[in-house]
């Protein structure tokens, strides 16, 4: 049966990581009947993998900390490209969101006097990350899930139904946001998706949809991200008429595992360096002292002795350069390897064994200890780790209104967490994602609920032709290369015909292209070549074909995900080619300097032509993505006053300084 099952809700949240759960809790508490849909099992999202902690200026370990310092650090980390209003809201509200988690049952590590402990991380002036060992994300998700269950129990007492006002649909993939109008017009009216196990189609009607689908890392070959990060929410937003901002900024975390090949890219948390770990090259040199850029020179130690003293006495010493923002450390590692001073397997050495007692390592970094022991047979209490950059996080995402998290220009669409753009500018500081998703997840849920309840009397209609097009698009891989997409209605496909493309092959080629040509160090010619290749892959992806039927069919799932990965990859490549400077996560070998004239410019990606899933193939050379430039409003004067004028001169154009 291809006839989708239909249900009506007030708010649909797509994604059940930290952003999605926090949004759902808020929407339900504001009185909206809320559905949460997630692609994986409930509880399995990137948030659960987060290790180091949640950044919030509670000042528990150093009283000097406050929201203004956090705001400053975030803007510096993002090289002043951040949406300053988002950075302000985030810095102001993060402490409340952490306290709130504690009232909901989260058990954070404590200081000696019983307060929530906070640890050091790159780019943060003070110890700021509330944590639970190196398993903070697990506790965050556990707490939010527990809160969801508590709300469902409340509903059972009131309505006799646990799912009366809050229901989770797990292992369901959303493939389209539905609207009541065509093209860029119209209001959001729901979502279309399929159950991964049964292949059954689903339409959830709702006047408000919150995208909380996370990032895009699976478009790159070496990544810390898991299979879910195929850029679905980014693509869903584009297809619904929203724009994406800052897509050229992809964060390559400096420390991923490099060996053995089967685990290449898996994250080695920044807490290792925050707790005292140091980076060395094959000559044994702590090379980060050679890579402190001018903008950070005054804030970082000039000698190993000073850097080491900082761990005990941070008020009278400067921090070691191993704790520079991630983009700086990743570039430095890349340069050392390129200069022939790397480790045997193409990384550098990260050492805690000579710096921290074995017992402390096992207590403070238990996951890292087990990860290396089990996956690489390396005992990190006795020998150094080998690490290298890995694609980790996308700063770019849905262009939202800072206060409401609404996707600009699309009524009823909201985005929060990694899928939203702007907050982190050109580079995210560690720990600022968990706080971001709590702050803006709450805001998205709140405003989505308000919008939905206001629209309740006259909910936007779901258009039958849009649902039919979504069904046809979803079934196309079963009839690929045979008849251009019409598969049979009984749930089984006729199988892929001759000339059908293998989705796994296409995925591998896409990952290799992005890794090689739009990776950590970028060049104009290579990115132009990447765009050509992406065009070819897009053509071939239209013929991605699968055998079998819709009951749990991973090949089919991947064939559908390819559309999203190709769209977001084109956004990244096109914006990266356009931005002729180096800033944060975007490094151009052919434009090595940061250019103040680019500071206020945001590159916005939108869909170049109508993509209804059944349109004829566009020629390879013609892309799907159009770029426009948006000049961000100047930073509010009271926020600018938080910085020294000298420092601002490094980032702001002269006309901004004179405003
Ligand atoms: P996620 O938590 O990834 O949730 C996305 C959800 O969307 C999932 O439920 C997924 O199933 C669902 N989904 C996706 N597509 C669809 C679709 N089409 N249909 C339905 N559902 C869909 N950040 C920090 O601040 N501190 C840290 O210490 C830290 N450590 C990290 C460690 C690792 C190994 C990794 C990978 C990341 C780490 N990060 C950390 C980053 C941070 O974890 C993520 O940025 C953050 O958790 C993203 O949360 P989210 O809610 O936006 O998305």
Structure confidence at residue 2 as a pLDDT band (50, 70, 90): confident
Lowest mean pLDDT among 6-15, 191-200, 328-337: 328-337
**Ligand 1 site-directed mutation target among 14, 36, 47, 437, most atoms within 8 Å of CB:** 47
Q: Is 53 helix (H, G, I), strand (E, B) or coil?
A: coil
Residue of 330, 326, 365, 372 whose CA lies nearest to 347:
330
CA pair distance 552, 216, nearest whole angstrom: 23
Mean pLDDT of 393-408: 98
Distance of alpha carbon 510 from its chain centroid, rounded? 19
Structure confidence at residue 546 as a pLDDT band (50, 70, 90): very high
CA pair distance 113, 130, nearest whole angstrom: 15
All residues at 6 or more sequence positions from 227 whose CB lies less than 8 Å from its CB, including other chains: 218
CA pair distance 514, 112, nearest whole angstrom: 47
CA pair distance 62, 66, nearest whole angstrom: 10
CA pair distance 280, 282, nearest whole angstrom: 7
CA pair distance 191, 160, nearest whole angstrom: 27
Q: Which residues line ligand 1 (CB under 6 A)?
A: 14-20, 37-40, 45-47, 49-53, 136-137, 173-174, 212-214, 224-225, 228, 232, 267, 393, 417-419, 430-434, 437
Mean pLDDT of 202-217: 98
**Ligand 1 site-directed mutation target among 14, 18, 26, 50, most atoms within 8 Å of CB:** 50
Measure CA of the first residue to CA of the last residue in the chain; give whole Å: 63
Is the pLDDT score of 132 beyond 50? yes
Q: Is 199 helix (H, G, I), strand (E, B) or coil?
A: coil
All residues at 6 or more sequence positions from 367 whose CB lies less than 8 Å from its CB, including other chains: 51, 133, 134, 135, 269
**Angle at 91 (CA atoms; ends 321, 643), nearest 5 degrees:** 60
Give residue 197 CA to ligand 1 midpoint distance, Å: 22
Structure confidence at residue 481 as a pLDDT band (50, 70, 90): low
Residue 610's pLDDT is what? 53
Give residue 47 CA to ligand 1 midpoint distance, Å: 4
- DSSP letter string over 224-262? S--TT-S-HHHHHHHHTT--EE-TT-EEEEEEEE-SSGG
Is the pLDDT score of 10 beyond 60? yes
Is the pLDDT score of 184 beyond 90? no
Domain assignment of residue 327, yes or no: yes
Atom of ligand 1 nearest to the CA of 217: 36
Residue 484's pLDDT is what? 40
Atom of ligand 1 nearest to the CA of 225: 36
**Ligand 1 site-directed mutation target among 19, 46, 48, most atoms within 8 Å of CB:** 46
Residue 288 is classified by DSSP as G
Give residue 622 CA to ligand 1 midpoint distance, Å: 32
Ligand 1, atom 25, lies closest to the CA of 431
Ligand 1, atom 47, lies closest to the CA of 47
Dihedral sign for Cα 277, 280, 284, 288, please.
negative
Cβ-contact 348, 281 below 8 angstroms: yes
Q: Is 419 helix (H, G, I), strand (E, B) or coil?
A: helix
- Of these residues, 326, 443, 476, 596, which one is catalytic? 326
Structure-model confidence comparison of residues 498 and 230, the more confident one: 230
In whole numbers, what is the pLDDT of the chain averaged over residues?
93
Domain assignment of residue 278, yes or no: yes
Residue of 419, 325, 586, 494 whose CA lies nearest to 45:
419
Give residue 641 CA to ligand 1 midpoint distance, Å: 34
Domain assignment of residue 394, yes or no: no
> Is the ipTM here above 0.85?
yes
Neighbours of 279 (CB within 10 A): 27
Report the domain count for the chain.
1
Q: What is the pTM of this model?
A: 0.93
Mean pLDDT of 493-510: 82
Is the pLDDT score of 627 beyond 80? yes
Q: Is 179 helix (H, G, I), strand (E, B) or coil?
A: strand
Residue of 349, 333, 343, 339 whose CA lies nearest to 280:
349
The residue range of the domain holding 276 is: 252-389
Ligand 1, atom 23, lies closest to the CA of 433
Domain assignment of residue 203, yes or no: no
Structure-model confidence comparison of residues 262 and 415, the more confident one: 415
Ligand 1, atom 31, lies closest to the CA of 50
Give residue 170 CA to ligand 1 midpoint distance, Å: 15
CA pair distance 599, 226, nearest whole angstrom: 32
Is the pLDDT score of 74 beyond 50? yes
Pair of tokens at residue 247 = 């897509």
Atom of ligand 1 nearest to the CA of 40: 11
Residue 485's pLDDT is what? 40
Domain assignment of residue 164, yes or no: no
CA pair distance 325, 599, nearest whole angstrom: 18
Structure-model confidence comparison of residues 7 and 622, the more confident one: 7
Structure confidence at residue 141 as a pLDDT band (50, 70, 90): very high
CA pair distance 161, 154, nearest whole angstrom: 9
Mean pLDDT of 254-260: 94
Residue 418's pLDDT is what? 98
Is the pLDDT score of 525 beyond 50? yes
Atom of ligand 1 nearest to the CA of 18: 51
Of how many residues is the chain composed? 659
Residue 491's pLDDT is what? 45
Give residue 228 CA to ligand 1 midpoint distance, Å: 9
Mean pLDDT of 118-125: 92
Q: Is 239 left (phi over 0), alpha (psi -120 to 50) or beta?
A: alpha
Domain assignment of residue 12, yes or no: no
Give residue 621 CA to ligand 1 midpoint distance, Å: 33
Is the pLDDT score of 542 beyond 80? yes
All residues at 6 or more sequence positions from 256 whose CB lies less than 8 Å from its CB, including other chains: 222, 224, 264, 265, 266, 267, 268, 387, 388, 389, 390, 392
Q: Which run of H or of E encompasses 533?
A: helix 524-541
Residue 277's pLDDT is what? 95
Catalytic site residue 326? yes
Ligand 1, atom 28, lies closest to the CA of 52
Give residue 432 CA to ligand 1 midpoint distance, Å: 13
Phi first, then psi, for residue 400 (nearest 5°) are -115, 160
Residue 483's pLDDT is what? 44
Residue 658's pLDDT is what? 74
Domain assignment of residue 569, yes or no: no
Cβ-contact 140, 47 below 8 angstroms: yes
Give residue 377 CA to ligand 1 midpoint distance, Å: 28
Atom of ligand 1 nearest to the CA of 434: 25
Ligand 1, atom 30, lies closest to the CA of 50
Is the pLDDT score of 643 beyond 90? yes
Residue 151's pLDDT is what? 98
Residue 497's pLDDT is what? 63
CATH of the domain at 339: 3.90.700.10
Give residue 1 CA to ligand 1 midpoint distance, Å: 33
Cα-only R_g, the chain:
24
Q: Is 422 left (phi over 0), alpha (psi -120 to 50) or beta?
A: left
Mean pLDDT of 502-526: 96
**Ligand 1 site-directed mutation target among 133, 213, 274, 398, most atoms within 8 Å of CB:** 213
**Ligand 1 site-directed mutation target among 15, 70, 445, most atoms within 8 Å of CB:** 15
Quickly list H helices, 40-82. Answer: 46-49, 67-77
Ligand 1, atom 12, lies closest to the CA of 15
Mean pLDDT of 357-371: 93
CA pair distance 263, 116, nearest whole angstrom: 33
Atom of ligand 1 nearest to the CA of 226: 36
**Angle at 440 (CA atoms; ends 435, 444), nearest 5 degrees:** 155
Instruction: Provide the pairing of β-strand 11-14 with 208-211.
Output: parallel
Lowest mean pLDDT among 109-113, 326-330, 395-399: 326-330
Atom of ligand 1 nearest to the CA of 38: 21
Residue 381's pLDDT is what? 97
Cβ-contact 332, 287 below 8 angstroms: yes
């Amino acid at each position: 049966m291809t006839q989708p099952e239909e249900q009506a809700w007030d708010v649909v949240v797509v994604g059940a990581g930290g952003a999605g759960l926090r949004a759902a809790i808020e929407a339900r508490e504001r009185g909206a009947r809320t559905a949460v849909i997630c692609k994986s099992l409930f509880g399995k999202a990137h948030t659960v993998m987060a290790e180091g902690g949640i950044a919030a200026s509670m000042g528990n370990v150093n009283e000097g900390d406050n929201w203004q310092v956090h705001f400053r650090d975030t803007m510096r980390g993002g090289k002043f490209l951040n949406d300053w209003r988002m950075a302000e809201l985030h810095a102001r509200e993060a402490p409340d969101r952490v306290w709130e988690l504690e009232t909901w049952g989260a058990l954070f590590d404590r200081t000696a006097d019983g307060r929530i402990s906070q640890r050091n991380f790159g780019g943060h002036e003070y110890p700021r990350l509330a944590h639970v060992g190196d398993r903070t994300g697990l506790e965050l998700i556990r707490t939010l899930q527990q809160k969801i269950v508590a709300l469902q129990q409340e509903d059972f007492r009131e309505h006799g139904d646990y799912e009366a006002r809050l229901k989770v649909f797990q292992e369901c993939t959303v493939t389209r946001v539905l609207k009541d109008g065509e093209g860029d017009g119209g209001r959001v009216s729901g979502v279309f998706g399929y159950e991964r196990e049964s292949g059954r189609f689903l339409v959830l009607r709702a006047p408000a949809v919150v995208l909380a689908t996370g990032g895009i890392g699976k478009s790159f070959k070496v990544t810390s991200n898991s299979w879910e990060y195929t850029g679905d929410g980014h693509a869903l937003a584009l297809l619904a008429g929203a724009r994406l901002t800052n897509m050229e900024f992809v964060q390559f975390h400096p420390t991923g595992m490099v060996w053995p090949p089967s685990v290449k890219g898996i994250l080695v948390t920044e807490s290792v360096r925050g707790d005292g770990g140091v980076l060395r090259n094959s000559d044994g040199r702590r090379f980060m002292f050679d890579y402190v850029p001018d903008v950070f020179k005054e804030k970082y130690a000039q000698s190993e002795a000073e850097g080491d003293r900082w761990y005990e006495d941070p008020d009278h010493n400067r921090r070691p350069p191993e704790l520079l923002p991630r983009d700086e450390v990743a570039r430095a590692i890349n340069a050392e390897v390129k200069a022939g001073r790397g480790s045997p397997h193409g990384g550098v050495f990260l050492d805690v064994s000579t710096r921290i007692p074995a017992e402390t390592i096992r207590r403070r970094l238990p996951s890292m200890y087990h990860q290396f022991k089990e996956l690489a047979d390396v005992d990190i209490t006795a020998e150094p780790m080998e690490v290298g950059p890995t694609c980790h996080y996308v700063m770019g995402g849905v262009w939202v209104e800072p206060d409401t998290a609404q996707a600009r220009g699309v009524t009823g669409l909201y985005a929060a967490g990694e899928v939203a753009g702007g907050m982190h500018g050109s580079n995210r500081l560690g720990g600022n994602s968990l706080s971001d998703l709590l702050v803006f997840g709450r805001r998205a849920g709140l405003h989505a609920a308000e919008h939905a309840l206001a629209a309740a009397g006259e909910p936007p209609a779901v258009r039958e032709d849009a649902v039919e097009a979504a069904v046809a698009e979803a079934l196309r891989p079963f009839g690929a290369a045979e008849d251009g997409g019409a598969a049979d209605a009984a749930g089984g496909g006729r199988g892929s015909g001759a000339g059908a493309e293998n989705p796994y092959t296409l995925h591998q080629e896409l990952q290799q292209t992005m890794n090689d040509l739009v990776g950590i160090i970028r060049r104009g010619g290579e990115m132009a070549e990447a765009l050509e290749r992406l065009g070819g892959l897009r053509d071939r992806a239209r013929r991605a074909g699968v055998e079998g039927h819709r009951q749990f069919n991973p090949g089919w799932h991947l064939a559908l995900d390819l559309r999203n990965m190709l769209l977001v990859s084109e956004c990244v490549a096109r914006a990266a080619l356009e931005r002729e400077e180096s800033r944060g996560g975007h490094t151009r070998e052919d434009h090595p300097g940061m250019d103040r004239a680019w500071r206020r410019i945001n590159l916005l990606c939108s869909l170049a032509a109508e993509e209804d899933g059944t349109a004829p193939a566009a020629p390879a050379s013609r892309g799907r993505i159009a770029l426009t430039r948006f000049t961000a409003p100047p930073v509010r004067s009271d926020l600018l006053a938080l910085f020294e004028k000298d420092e601002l001169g490094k980032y702001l154009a002269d006309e901004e300084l004179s405003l």
